[in-house]
Structure 1
């Protein structure tokens, strides 16, 4: 590569997958993204383990894997208080890409990226994503910019809009109209941030692409799940076209500012065959005993207390109920005197904890963990014979840490593509698997990446991981890559006849070896 780029624009295409993008390009739905793909080095960007929003975007933002950055799920356990607490930016254990750029004296613009609340203390403009408890909190780092956006772009929102699959065409049209307004406002916010800030890195995160695919996959007419309802498909396509228009505006901005462009997703997508009852599997394996009907008083009281606490928080000066702790007893209705293992939270991954009151001592814990792993690895879909979990592993052994001290599960079991592990389930359901008409599609590991920068080789097919993006971006900007980053610089994206961006950035070898999780 002839030299570093002065700026980098990141397009955060949440959940983007080749299974949607390629047909969208062929059908003429997304010409701006298609043009970007044609001139870029493109390929697969493998997601985190598990492949959920806070883990994946933190892996991008830090250039590290979960054992290093410390975010393993939407939630963690406070072992002292025996409560479930939400993960947030303050729990990230290492500096971020935004920190590295800011510490070099440069500015960043970050709009809507998850795991940026509470806002980091960096130069530039940071507007938090959907994990901020409200829109005014999303602009906590830049309140004056927030006032401008509230006044001039009232369509801007940090919310996830697609809460369920629309039940009527009118409902679909209403949410689709709102989503298109949000996509337009996001591009407008980026243009206004550009006028305020001499940024070196800009991220615009389009979270609602994820919800479109979760709820409306059949109307994309891609596979055997296609619904073949033209009026519904027209609304979905209208959202994709509006997203593409927003991307086009950002590509024009990048061109004016001589910025490299990195488009990426945090995971892929595909049809959801079934939801999986994690606690039900533990019950079937004899590792958990649910409370029988008529004996659930303590469970119900815990839930009432949790709801009352949320009610009080909503009426506090901060006015939010989203960030507070919840009791374990209010989430898992089981007989604790006969329960060895439980999953208090988790989507797309079994997040399983030992009941330390029942399982004490390293020998007993080791045996129980082995039983959990055996049960989950043996779990299959009776209709297809497919395994329900891609893996199941001892967190302490694989990550070389004490999960209890960090509030982490003792066992993690990422879902197999096409299945979604769930901690929450109907309390007296006997079925361990069920399709969910409200969730026709779910996450898969194969996300996407496209890099358009000086010296890029468009014919290159990339095979990358989320932690590789941050060091590659720093190399493009001519900055040294911090030693703690575990990703590698994607030198193969660039013409090897030119100077290596890795050499330009670090003064050392162009490709830094990735330090991947053990196993």
Structure 2
């Protein structure tokens, strides 16, 4: 019998769902909330899929994991890398379950490709996974392929006009949850997890629009079925972060350039930006005509490097090639991360002050909090982190592109952006007590272990929530992590670009 089921809802928070809970659109989530215990949940900075899903699976902050966003910039060597599952310097909670002779079934957790071995099953999650060698055991992938299981949409949603692609994404979410229910019925495990990832893609482009509402109705129906099929299980709902609508786009590198922190040398490549030629548009056309893989394989590298990623300009390694490193003192990634060249203390101090004082055209702050990396993170990898970390004010979307952009502009292709406040819910016959304050995403892994009587490793940052009565969970020695692999994975980057996730 499956004792604990975790459903991860990417980008979910109670504020997002409140109108649909109030009008009866989501009756099963409402019933679970009435019967169980729930609270807001705070994610790690930045509040983004990567690294927060792995903060959940490990119970550790990014400073212990060595991954801070979709990209890591090395200003000394002037390189940029993209993480894979091997980049996170930690064991996951299911490794401890296996050590206790308990089984786990993990489906679609982001940043789990390539998959690790475990007693049970693991189906790698997007956006960085590929439909090849994506499961453990390997033969499970053959079975899923025969069922028509899709890791990713055939055509990605890249704008709010993409209604047909959005409908297909809702169908993919439906199939994902149906597959999860079938798997834990056919392969009973002690603890099971499924992440519903693409719902947040819909939120980014449509906010609470019709495609997003339909996706949440599908999720609600499956949650009702899970509750009926596993009445004795502890059911946990959690998210990696929340989501809210956008009122301002902050082009961080345009601001750094205007302030003299960043100096670029773009030369003739800006002609592509002015002509409206970019990889996103080319990718949309290639997907539409079924030649995307062919174009990716055969387009000359020189051309790829000259064409901007989208209308915002150059991203990933491309943007590094446009930096005048001899004169630059800081460069930004997206969503609240800035690297100071050489970690210069004076530049860092000035940058902290400038960001704290920065206001948009309407006098609103860009950041609700601006931190040194030592104050945002703890652990052995802090010195690899961005020098300055800021929490975007709700309503702000920060782009890390380099291009011909204003510092501030109105929302473009994204209608909504992530926020740090997500949600947590626990329901089931063994759940008792209350949650009187916001919990941390780092608390979920220890709580999952506690729910099945497993001890909690001493190196986690979170705590097991007191939801099950009885004695507090015991402690155990950590399982040593495998070697960190910091190599950039081009397929991961291409998939992220297709989905618009390297914002």
Q: TM-score range by the shorter chain?
A: 0.7 to 0.9
Q: Give the TM-score of the pair, scaled to structure 1.
A: 0.77
Asked if the contact 1:112–1:158 (Cα under 8 Å) also holds between the matched residues in 2, the reply is no
Whole-angstrom CA distance in 2 between matches of 1:48 and 1:177: 31
Whole-angstrom CA distance in 2 between matches of 1:404 and 1:463: 25
Which of residues 226, 231, 241 is equivalent to 1:250?
226
Question: 1:393: which partner in 2?
Answer: 371
Higher relative contact order (CA 8 A, sep 6+): 2
Q: Does 1:351 align with 2:351?
A: no
Question: 1:499: which partner in 2?
Answer: 470
Question: 1:450: which partner in 2?
Answer: 425
Whole-angstrom CA distance in 2 between matches of 1:132 and 1:244: 26
Asked if the contact 1:89–1:116 (Cα under 8 Å) also holds between the matched residues in 2, the reply is yes
Q: Give the TM-score of the pair, scaled to structure 2.
A: 0.80
Which of residues 27, 37, 41 is equivalent to 1:45?
41
Unpaired segments of 5 or more residues in structure 1?
220-232, 298-302, 316-320, 357-361, 509-519
Question: 1:112: which partner in 2?
Answer: 108
Q: 1:399 to 1:42 in 2, by over 3 A?
A: closer
Pairing of 1:220-299 with structure 2 (within 5 A): 233=210, 235-255=211-231, 258-291=232-265, 293=267
Asked if the contact 1:176–1:239 (Cα under 8 Å) also holds between the matched residues in 2, the reply is no
Unpaired segments of 5 or more residues in structure 2?
272-277, 283-292, 299-303, 305-314, 477-503
1:1-32 Cα deviation digits (max 9, x unpaired): xxxx9621001111111123222122222222
Question: 1:145: which partner in 2?
Answer: 140
Q: Does 1:466 align with 2:441?
A: yes
- CA drift of 1:77 comes to 3.3
Whole-angstrom CA distance in 2 between matches of 1:421 and 1:332: 21
Q: Does 1:217 align with 2:207?
A: yes
Whole-angstrom CA distance in 1 between matches of 2:166 and 2:266: 44
Q: 1:244 to 1:395 in 2, by over 3 A?
A: same
- CA drift of 1:42 comes to 0.4
Q: 1:36 to 1:284 in 2, by over 3 A?
A: same
1:258-291 Cα deviation digits (max 9, x unpaired): 3211101111111111111111221222212233
Which of residues 416, 421, 435 is equivalent to 2:410?
435
Q: 1:475 to 1:184 in 2, by over 3 A?
A: same
Q: Does 1:373 align with 2:352?
A: yes
Whole-angstrom CA distance in 2 between matches of 1:379 and 1:19: 27
Q: 1:25 to 1:138 in 2, by over 3 A?
A: same
Bigger mean CA offset, 17-26 vs 469-478? 17-26
Larger Rg: 1
- CA drift of 1:415 comes to 1.4
Asked if the contact 1:42–1:462 (Cα under 8 Å) also holds between the matched residues in 2, the reply is no
1:468-510 Cα deviation digits (max 9, x unpaired): 011111111101111011101211x45xxx524x2xx3289xx
1:63-112 Cα deviation digits (max 9, x unpaired): 11111222211111356753211112211112111111122122111111
Whole-angstrom CA distance in 2 between matches of 1:448 and 1:276: 26
